[in-house]
Amino acid sequence: MPDHAHVTTDDVTFGIQDRLLLAFAELQMYGIDAQAAVEAAPARARAVITARLRARAPHGLGSYVFWTRADEDRLDGASELPLHTSGPEVNRAVVAALAHHGLTARPGPRPGMLLVG
């Protein structure tokens, strides 16, 4: 009978979505609102998240990162997944958390966007 008490992370394969969720959990521990598969267009999601963060912490930085449900088909690794951020103040933390979990990101085509590939 196998000894399941000695399973290591070397025995587990993490997909892109698993790694993203781990990175998002890490970012949340640092006070960054990180949301997966948001059910809105990016502009609408930004407005809703910003309003919620301002109401909850009016003097906070309002840092956030999310991806949309519409982009989830990109999680197969065939194309880059856009992450939408509150801006440069959070991009460094997002890139570091992603790297910590084996993912890379590069700047997107416009401010407030990173591409994970």
- What is the number of domains present in the chain? 1
Does 1 reside within a domain?
A: no
Does pLDDT of 48 surpass 80? yes
Q: Which pLDDT score is estimated for 78?
A: 80
Backbone Cα Rg of the chain: 16
Residue numbers of the domain that contains 39: 14-116
Considering the domain boundaries, does residue 50 fall inside one? yes
Residue 2 placed within a domain: no
Q: Is 4 inside a domain boundary?
A: no
pLDDT for 3 equals 47
Query: Does a structural domain hold residue 6?
Result: no
Looking at residue 92, its pLDDT comes to 96
In a domain, 8, yes or no: no
Q: What is the pTM of this model?
A: 0.86
Q: What is the pLDDT of residues 8-17, one digit of tens each?
A: 556 556 799 9
